[in-house]
Homo-oligomer: A and B are copies of this chain.
Amino acid sequence: MAKSNVSRRDMLKMSLVGAGALALGAVNAEATVSAKDVKFDEEWDVVIIGSGFAGLAAGIKASERGNKVLILEKMGRVGGNSVVNGGIFAVPGSELQKKNGVKDSKEIFIADCVKAGLGLNHVELLEVLADRAVDTFNFTVKHGAKYLDKLILEGGHSVPRTYYTENTSGSGIVQPLVESFKKSDGCELRTRTKFDDFVTDESGRVVGVTVRENYKFDKDLFSDDRENKGGDKKIIKAKKGVILASGGFCSDKFFRKLQDPRAVPEFDTTNHPGATAGALISAFKAGALPVQVGWIQYIPYKCPDEKGNGITSKFAAQASFRYGFSVDPKTGKRYMNELADRKIRADAMFKIIDAKANSYPINLCDSVAAAKLVPSDLENPMNSGVIKKFDTLEELAAFYKIPAGELTKTAERYNGFVASGIDKDFGKPMKLTDGITVSKPPFYAMRGAPKLHHTMGGVKINTKAQVLNIDDEPIAGLYAAGEVTGGTHGASRLGSCAILDCLTFGMIAGENI
């Protein structure tokens, strides 16, 4: 596995005169499956684990270079989180920026990412994203992706640099890439096929994978990776190597809790159920360097009363957090600056949430604030019952079991802060409230919760998308791209950088393997 390790072992072997002979090579920890002990059932040039942005980009690039490529997808449907993604794509230096006179640069893009990432970013990877962004965008256009002809200013970015796909979903990129890939000669995208372990040769090079076909993912298991024994085993050779594009592990109730004990099973995620850590764990077993695995990004403007992304985000973020406030139902008091960054807000919410007792903060605002929304962003969640309307704050308090007197006091105090322009309690930037208080009935409210959104850590890759081992040296035959890699975005990823990251390093992996 490790070059420096081997040389240390060699040295050990050479010098152990009289100290016992040490044969190299054979070890006990069952890290990977040994190629010399298996017979391969199939043979491909390149095997890719995962069919999201990263896997598809890698597959197309590898097939363009004449490789026979097999993409494995454990779920029944293609695309992982990428098809439930919001379809926003940051492209620093784009043509549309130039057309619109937006000044952007590699330096500004990296500074934005590093600010959000608390400086934990592996900047050499961000540099690649900046350098390749336009090329990556053009790659998707060439393969049929369509974008709206406007740029949005996404939170945390200094300038408008974010495209929307025409259907405002990541599927607007995934679908055309799938079609392109499927047309490639001698290539295959195989669903319901779960990757288990890497197969390595005697030099430590990754030369294949063990898989189970006809796999039925069971989202009701605590850990599908650990408990689901189903499927038909197969061993597949990958002559040029394997690309790991298996995504993050926000839906992995087992592994995420080891890294972030706040993420108890009661906590929901914006991710699809298949976003588990099994492939990442296999990579660690094969010696991949773990980077920043403890950092998980949460979205603070979600609701525990609906599954996944839900439809209350606009109300929470744009009406309640901006023009109203959030309270702890146990005290009736505010507990955070409702306009702080995602991480600070999520951390503050976690401190008052008792998921086991089903106690969550209440996000509320008045009718003036609610009128600022696109009507459907209020009406739809009201129709589904997750946002409620009340004629008085007393009724709102009674419904959510908030001490009514305290809630009224909190509203009075908060309205005073709006008037004075200074939030003495939490430092919310009151100038952004446009003078709107919490006073004009009816009042609107929802239960709030952060949801797991992106696992920041993963395996360490270099700028060629090679997976590095724990001694910081490439593992031969193993590449990775996308959310399964760690470090690029540091502590917190900016919105709309996921598509850029996954596609770019997927392309690089496909070009280099």
Q: How far is the CA of A120 from the CA of B257 in the complex (A)?
A: 9
| Interface residue? A373 (CB, 8 A) | no
Contact (Cβ within 8 A) A294 B32: no
Contact (Cβ within 8 A) B295 A27: no
Q: How far is the CB of A238 from chain B (nearest CB, A)?
A: 15
Task: Render A236-270 as a binary contact track against B, CB cut-off 8 A, 1 for contact.
Answer: 00000000000000000010001111100000000
Residues in chain B near residue A457, CB distance under 8 A: 294
Q: Which residue of B lies closest to A343 (CB)?
A: B118
Contact (Cβ within 8 A) B39 A21: yes
Contact (Cβ within 8 A) A292 B289: no
Task: Render A100-141 as a binary contact track against B, CB cut-off 8 A, 1 for contact.
Answer: 000000000000000100111111000000000000000000
A28-B204, A29-B31 given; 14 more Cβ-contact pairs under 8 Å: A1-B28, A9-B197, A12-B233, A19-B233, A20-B41, A22-B33, A22-B37, A121-B261, A226-B471, A259-B291, A261-B487, A261-B490, A292-B293, A292-B294
| Interface residue? A290 (CB, 8 A) | yes
| Interface residue? A4 (CB, 8 A) | yes
Contact (Cβ within 8 A) A351 B119: yes
Q: How far is the CA of A11 from the CA of B202 in the complex (A)?
A: 24
Q: Which residue of B lies closest to A254 (CB)?
A: B472
- Which of A279-287, A328-336, A382-390 participates in binding chain B? A279-287
Q: Which residue of B lies closest to A1 (CB)?
A: B29
Among the listed B2, B37, B424, which residue makes an inter-chain contact with A26, where contact means beta carbons less than 8 Å apart? B37
Q: How far is the CA of A115 from the CA of B201 in the complex (A)?
A: 48
Residues in chain B near residue A233, CB distance under 8 A: 11-12, 15-16, 19
Q: How far is the CA of A120 from the CA of B350 in the complex (A)?
A: 10
Given A27-B27, A33-B27, A350-B119; A229-B8 close (CB under 8 Å): yes
| Interface residue? A200 (CB, 8 A) | yes
Contact (Cβ within 8 A) B34 A26: yes
Given A30-B6, A39-B20, A234-B19; A119-B291 close (CB under 8 Å): no
| Interface residue? A497 (CB, 8 A) | no
Contact (Cβ within 8 A) B254 A202: no
Residues in chain B near residue A260, CB distance under 8 A: 120
Q: How far is the CB of A5 from chain B (nearest CB, A)?
A: 6
| Interface residue? A480 (CB, 8 A) | no
- Most chain B beta-carbon neighbours within 10 Å: one of A33, A35, A115, A258: A258
Task: Render A332-362 as a binary contact track against B, CB cut-off 8 A, 1 for contact.
Answer: 0000000000000001001100000000000
Among the listed B281, B292, B471, which residue makes an inter-chain contact with A259, where contact means beta carbons less than 8 Å apart? B292
**What is the copy number of this chain in the assembly?**
2
Q: How far is the CB of A289 from chain B (nearest CB, A)?
A: 7
Among the listed B1, B35, B121, B290, which residue makes an inter-chain contact with A30, where contact means beta carbons less than 8 Å apart? B1
Task: Render A191-235 as a binary contact track against B, CB cut-off 8 A, 1 for contact.
Answer: 000001100111110000010000000000000001001001111
Contact (Cβ within 8 A) A22 B38: yes
Residues in chain B near residue A41, CB distance under 8 A: 19-20
The residues of A with any CB-CB pair to B shorter than 8 Å are 1-2, 4-6, 8-9, 11-12, 15-16, 19-41, 115, 118-123, 196-197, 200-204, 210, 226, 229, 232-235, 254, 258-262, 281, 284-287, 289-295, 347, 350-351, 422, 424, 427, 456-457, 460, 470-472, 486-487, 490
Among the listed B201, B294, B424, which residue makes an inter-chain contact with A28, where contact means beta carbons less than 8 Å apart? B201
Q: How far is the CB of A130 from chain B (nearest CB, A)?
A: 17
Q: How far is the CA of A456 from the CA of B260 in the complex (A)?
A: 13
Q: How far is the CB of A487 from chain B (nearest CB, A)?
A: 8
Q: How far is the CB of A460 from chain B (nearest CB, A)?
A: 6
Q: List 21 A-B contacts (CB under 8 A).
A: A1-B285, A4-B226, A9-B197, A16-B233, A19-B233, A20-B41, A23-B37, A24-B30, A25-B30, A28-B31, A119-B350, A258-B472, A284-B284, A284-B290, A285-B287, A285-B470, A291-B293, A292-B293, A293-B294, A294-B294, A294-B457
Residues in chain B near residue A196, CB distance under 8 A: 8, 12
Q: How far is the CB of A475 from chain B (nearest CB, A)?
A: 9
Given A12-B196, A19-B233, A233-B15; A122-B30 close (CB under 8 Å): no
Residues in chain B near residue A36, CB distance under 8 A: 26
Q: Which residue of B lies closest to A286 (CB)?
A: B29
Residues in chain B near residue A197, CB distance under 8 A: 9
Residues in chain B near residue A32, CB distance under 8 A: 27-29
Contact (Cβ within 8 A) B204 A470: no
Q: Which residue of B lies closest to A295 (CB)?
A: B294
Given A12-B210, A19-B234, A290-B284; A261-B37 close (CB under 8 Å): no
Q: How far is the CA of A379 from the CA of B28 in the complex (A)?
A: 59
Residues in chain B near residue A262, CB distance under 8 A: 119-120
Q: How far is the CB of A38 from chain B (nearest CB, A)?
A: 5
